[in-house]
Structure 1
Amino acid sequence: MAIALVTGASAGLGEEFAWQLATAGHDVVLVARSRDRLSEVAHLVRSATGRSAEVMAADLSTDDGREAVAARLSATDRPVSLLVNNAGHGIGAPFTASTWDQERALLDVHVTAPLRLTHAVLPGMIARGHGAVVNVASIAAHLSNSTYAAHKRWAVEFTQALAGQLAGTGVTATAVLPGLVRTRFHDAASLRHMRDEFPDAAWLDPEQVVTAALAAVRRGQTVVTPSARYAVAGALLGVLPGRLTRGRRSQQRD
């Protein structure tokens, strides 16, 4: 039975990944900090789809949290065949105004956690000859305006390097670069202003993003931008000089 593990599964894109994967016949392992919210999502998924939904409350900004999830990914009984590295958050402040604790937590969730969890899951996938890793990046990867953007650019580069090393193993790696998405990500007081700064047409629905992401996984596609307009924007940003993409505010998604 195919099992998918999704981080940041208590809301937003992570919750949508859980729903679509369970609907498609996967059992799911749901990871986030809030056990109460995870339990609610798991109950709804089980009731609506009949699939198993395992709950793991873990803070991926900590060593203990990452190692607990890594242990589950390394387990040989009920092995995970799809890892979705989706957990993420934003600071809403420039590096010059943030605290070290904020920056360290951001780095650990966006970079250290995907690196560790992917490293844990790959040996089993390769030995079985099939599997997939999905890294949720952002259109912000094309910008040069924040540590958030730098982390998301790392996610894309990491995925591309991984895809090359996995060639011929039956295991794939896919980076997803959504733009602005209607989720709780922008509920944070420091990011709420973005809801008023961008028109409705700029916002994507979680269902649209996840549908495109999973279709890319099925095709074995390495990088996908789940919107034609954001794909065009990304292509344009990719050829602009860095000085033109250095804004004072972080264009953060999720």
Structure 2
Amino acid sequence: MARRICLVTGASAGIGQAIARVFAERGYDLALSARREDRLKALAQELNDTWGAQCHTIVADLTDPNAPQRIVQWLYTDGHHVDALVNNAGYGLQGGYLASSWREHAAFMQVMVTAPLELIHLLLPAMQARGFGRIMNVASLAGLLPGVQGATLYGAAKAFLIKTSQALNLENATTGVHVSALCPGFTFTEFHDVNGMRDQVSTLPNWLWQDAKTVAQLGYEGLESNHAIVVSGTANKAIAGLSKLIPDTLALSLMKTQLHKFRRSD
């Protein structure tokens, strides 16, 4: 019996890399996509050595509108199908809305929203036809909280993925395809180094943080159980639950007063 294949975007580091390891451990072969070829090749070798996973590396920049089609076409041309999709690629823009150019915002939305949606649209029909599929959209706790200054589009993009995942979960209830939005909070990855916020977020209490391996395992388990939303960790679940109970005006006020600890808003 042929091994199933999982496509992971943003697989070169952090949560994406950890998720790739979890799928390899569960018997999947991997299609690993990101911009950094050296990291993809190193991860591919590790997954093969450790779990016997056959790995395909696909260097792609999802800011390119043609990238999703090229990724899928490369796999299909090489005779592979995709049984699981993990939309993980993402990043954050720092500062207020006008601190970034429109070109930067457009590229951000291409990576965070348009590319994941297109990959789902390209791969979902074959999953439904085979009666098996797994789609994990890596969102964020930020998508379940009020919007904040300095993260104008980040929470909105993640909320979009969450709502889309909920709808697709319902639409595929009888197809054998599971769809989940994984919503981690603060996670030990290089994300905060890339966006220049490591010094600020390092002052946050340890109980707010999780490691990428734990987040990946919880995400996989939630996906297998077909939970539409998977919030990783007790603390994050409490925060998400509390945000539903308190009035928006109070929630926004709290976000405003605490924002300086983890976000630059100028």
TM-score range, shorter chain: over 0.9
Q: Distance in 1 between matches of 2:217 and 2:33?
A: 20
Q: Taking structure 1 as reference, are residues 92 and 52 closer, same or farther at Cα in structure 2, changes over 3 Å only? A: same
Give the CA deviation at 1:54: 0.6
Q: Distance in 1 between matches of 2:58 and 2:226?
A: 28
Q: Is the 8 A contact 1:91 1:190 kept in 2?
A: no
The Cα offsets for residues 173-210 of structure 1, whole Å up to 9 and x where unpaired, read as: 10111000000101125322333231222111111111
Output the amino acid matched with 1:23. E
Q: Is the 8 A contact 1:74 1:120 kept in 2?
A: no
Q: Distance in 2 between matches of 1:181 and 1:222?
A: 21
Give the CA deviation at 1:242: 3.3
Corresponding residue pairs, total: 252
Q: Taking structure 1 as reference, are residues 52 and 189 closer, same or farther at Cα in structure 2, changes over 3 Å only? A: same
Q: Does residue 117 in structure 1 map to residue 123 in structure 2?
A: no
Q: Secondary structure at the match of 1:172?
A: strand
Q: Distance in 2 between matches of 1:127 and 1:189?
A: 41
Max Rg structure: 2
Q: Taking structure 1 as reference, are residues 69 and 242 closer, same or farther at Cα in structure 2, changes over 3 Å only? A: farther
Give the CA deviation at 1:72: 4.5
Q: Secondary structure at the match of 2:170?
A: helix
Q: Distance in 1 between matches of 2:72 and 2:200?
A: 34
Q: Is the 8 A contact 1:144 1:245 kept in 2?
A: no
Q: Secondary structure at the match of 1:51?
A: coil
- Structure 1 residue aligned with 2:164: 158
Output the amino acid matched with 1:19. R
Give the CA deviation at 1:71: 2.4
Q: Distance in 1 between matches of 2:245 and 2:94?
A: 26
Q: Distance in 2 between matches of 1:154 and 1:175?
A: 10
- Structure 1 residue aligned with 2:62: 60
Q: Does residue 226 in structure 1 map to residue 232 in structure 2?
A: yes
Q: Distance in 1 between matches of 2:139 and 2:244?
A: 15
Q: Does residue 7 in structure 1 map to residue 13 in structure 2?
A: no
Q: Is the 8 A contact 1:132 1:171 kept in 2?
A: yes
Q: Taking structure 1 as reference, are residues 129 and 17 closer, same or farther at Cα in structure 2, changes over 3 Å only? A: same
- Report which stretch shifted further, 138-147 or 117-126: 138-147
Q: Distance in 2 between matches of 1:153 and 1:74?
A: 31
Q: Is the 8 A contact 1:156 1:223 kept in 2?
A: yes
Q: Distance in 2 between matches of 1:129 and 1:195?
A: 43
Give the CA deviation at 1:73: 6.2
Q: Distance in 2 between matches of 1:220 and 1:76?
A: 30
185, 200, 203: which one aligns with 2:191: 185
C-alpha RMSD over aligned residues:
1.9
Q: Distance in 2 between matches of 1:239 and 1:94?
A: 28
1:161-176 equivalence runs, <5 A: 161-176=167-182
State the TM-score, normalizing by the size of structure 2.
Answer: 0.89
Q: Secondary structure at the match of 2:178?
A: strand
Q: Secondary structure at the match of 1:133?
A: strand
Q: Is the 8 A contact 2:6 2:86 kept in 1?
A: yes
- Structure 2 residue aligned with 1:92: 94
Q: Does residue 143 in structure 1 map to residue 146 in structure 2?
A: yes
Q: Is the 8 A contact 1:93 1:190 kept in 2?
A: no
Q: Is the 8 A contact 2:207 2:235 kept in 1?
A: no
State the TM-score, normalizing by the size of structure 1.
Answer: 0.93
Give the CA deviation at 1:76: 9.1
Gaps of 5+ in 1: none
- Structure 1 residue aligned with 2:213: 207
Output the amino acid matched with 2:225. R
Q: Is the 8 A contact 1:71 1:120 kept in 2?
A: no
Q: Is the 8 A contact 2:87 2:116 kept in 1?
A: yes
- Structure 2 residue aligned with 1:106: 108
- Structure 1 residue aligned with 2:50: 48
1:233-244 equivalence runs, <5 A: 233-244=239-250
Identity level (%): 33
Q: Distance in 2 between matches of 1:148 and 1:197?
A: 22
- Report which stretch shifted further, 10-19 or 181-190: 181-190
Q: Does residue 70 in structure 1 map to residue 72 in structure 2?
A: yes
Give the CA deviation at 1:239: 3.0
